[in-house]
A and B are shown apart, each in its own frame.
Chain A
């Protein structure tokens, strides 16, 4: 099973860090994953929002490898092709020329374990934040994610029904054509065949509409559900930083107690060691506090930027979707207006 899909990534830039103005490279899915991993490691500790990569569907991959010429595999490829550019467009960072590839199985397993431990730690920490802003925003994010999930499910069902309508219209068109053939009145027979053709055209329209329902609307929602997950991850990172700071503080406290005890017990050599540890931990506490402040600032900035981007994105995608609906209705009108004189010509 050595076959894989490679995607051509073309970039046009004015950023000085690149050697050329325009260039393109070939990347495969594991490359995207690797990029995500590297960036998460580097930036998520600072509180940046890293957009998650699309899910790798093993089933889809094997289907393509077997070489089945399914509409479903074509679908899957379309989705991939559509989703991967979003990952790039979301941030302007250094694009490393060679990215370490990861096999999914190893990384995925690790991720699962990490996620489990995260869930446990989430349950035990409750950040006592003087800044209510973060709490509110986290709640908002969580409820929005829920709503978008619901909306996504409904849009999915719309896509399915439209595909159904497509199939039913095609079948109906065929049966209409047969009926037109067996009709003995010539004008009516011609009209019925024309009706069959119109319904055929409607089927194409419905198919295109289902595709735009899916690619524009459903995928927009799915994307933002994933992004909101990443936003939550950011908040969690901040929480972890806070926890680290608190732990450092409590360790410092313990060290101080140890020092006090030693002072009282009067053991000068151990005392020296204790004092060194205290200084060390004092340093850590200050550093962690600074880290925490820094990450709070970054998270706040990132979140506001994210919201602005989201508004813009949603608006433009919605307009695109509505325009596709409008176009399909225009063609609707054209097809039926072409049919009308045929129907009137029946004698």
Chain B
């Protein structure tokens, strides 16, 4: 959308250069008006179409490898995704194919990438979180228990709300998995990974290649060792200013963003509660109006109608806020963790390098195995330099990516809030007029 604005601006300024003042002002206003209409209609289009989870931009632009998840099935607890690939690369057997995948397959792919030595200098896109149907399931439970106390239509409406929530969670999880794959496919190095290719192509069940129980246990230990290591490594003196800055920034930012995500979640949930309350108010009002025989009967009906409409808007406010704000924060919380992991890996190689230096010094003193120690030291230095170089690149691009994503989402959220508030306003104004005239 801001691309549109840029192009309109360009046209405007060109015109300005050629025509006289009065005409210019009229044209400028006309362009502003047209731009406004475009923005409004495109906003409506955007939100009526699938709400694209645009936490990462510039994905899926490279036509040599296009990935998407066109549909998914929800079976009880498990979600089965259909991963569809369209490619012009010769490394794949077919140009267009689809495979079914489960959430665990995505986790396997992520862990395989993390464990690959060669990618130690890259930010591995964070693994998509497990599909979480806990909150709608809890709600369904409560709804079932409270069924006796509600009227039939209230119950139907609550059920509809619940179904919408299930659907929203479902859509969210599909998109999060899709974004994961798209980030991999748009990365110059990771898109060529063998495991990635297997993931996309292998048309049988991947479970044979997935971690078995013993390995998951092993990875738990690895995580514990890693955190102990992190403490040791943070004591190492950093040689490069850039990385020193990045480290401080990321550590601070990561804790703050975790906090913000939690608070945003609470806020969104409160909005949803209010939308639910509106349902109850609307249906109670309609039952009051049924029994009422005075002049108030019509008024109660109108009011019940109004609350029904208001709650739809309120529900949209809640879900838009969830998608644009909360999801954004959640995603970057995980992404920052991935960036921190990169820093950790680099610090590890620095520690290794320093250890190899010490070993070399000792070997020189004893005049034993000097050549081996020297080679070890050279290797460590090489690894460290490689990681530093690619790390710097990755972190800079990560910064840019984050700023762009925040911008896009904040703009969209502000526009949606304005749209919904204006919607509310017109609903309320209509109702007030109805009341005052009758």
A175 contacts B by Cβ under 8 Å = yes
A231 to B415, CA, bound (A): 51
Q: A175-B256, A322-B435 are in contact. Are A343 and B410 (CB under 8 A)?
A: yes
A310 to B297, CA, bound (A): 12
User: Across the interface, which residues of A come within 8 angstroms of B418, CB to CB?
Assistant: 333, 336-337, 340
Q: Is the CB–CB distance between B296 and A310 below 8 Å? A: yes
Q: Is the CB–CB distance between A165 and B253 below 8 Å? A: no
User: 20 new A-B pairs (CB below 8 Å) besides A161-B274, A346-B410?
Assistant: A144-B292, A154-B280, A157-B277, A164-B273, A169-B267, A172-B263, A175-B256, A175-B260, A182-B252, A183-B253, A319-B432, A329-B424, A330-B425, A333-B421, A333-B425, A336-B417, A340-B415, A340-B418, A343-B410, A346-B406
User: Across the interface, which residues of A come within 8 angstroms of B176, CB to CB?
Assistant: none
**8 Å CB interface, B154-192 against A:** none
Instruction: Kindly identify which residue among A148, A157, A168 contacts B280, using a CB–CB cutoff of 8 Å.
Output: A157
Q: Is the CB–CB distance between B2 and A344 below 8 Å? A: yes
User: Across the interface, which residues of B come within 8 angstroms of A336, CB to CB?
Assistant: 414, 417-418, 421
A159 to B205, CA, bound (A): 52
A165 to B263, CA, bound (A): 11
User: Across the interface, which residues of A come within 8 angstroms of B288, CB to CB?
Assistant: 144, 147-148, 151
A151 to B415, CA, bound (A): 34
A261 contacts B by Cβ under 8 Å = no
Category for how many chain B residues contact A: 35 or more
B276, chain A: closest CB distance, angstroms: 8
| 9 smallest beta-carbon distances between A and B, as pairs | A165-B270, A172-B263, A332-B421, A346-B407, A343-B410, A158-B277, A326-B428, A161-B273, A168-B267
A90 to B164, CA, bound (A): 47
B interface, over-half SS = helix
Q: Is the CB–CB distance between A150 and B284 below 8 Å? A: yes
A272 contacts B by Cβ under 8 Å = no
User: Across the interface, which residues of B come within 8 angstroms of A307, CB to CB?
Assistant: 294
Q: Is the CB–CB distance between B270 and A319 below 8 Å? A: no
**8 Å CB interface, A194-211 against B:** 195
A318 to B435, CA, bound (A): 9
Interface flags, B277-305, vs A, CB<8A=1, else 0? 11011001101100111111001000100
Give A contacts to B, CB under 8 Å: 140, 143-144, 147-148, 150-151, 154-155, 157-158, 161-162, 164-165, 168-169, 171-172, 175-176, 178-179, 182-185, 187-188, 191-192, 195, 307, 310-311, 314-315, 318-319, 322-323, 325-326, 329-330, 332-333, 336-337, 339-340, 343-344, 346-347
A138 to B278, CA, bound (A): 30
**8 Å CB interface, B379-404 against A:** 399, 403
A182 to B417, CA, bound (A): 26
- Cβ-closest chain B residue relative to A312: B295
A346 to B413, CA, bound (A): 14
User: Across the interface, which residues of A come within 8 angstroms of B210, CB to CB?
Assistant: none
Q: Is the CB–CB distance between B256 and A340 below 8 Å? A: no
- Cβ-closest chain A residue relative to B413: A343
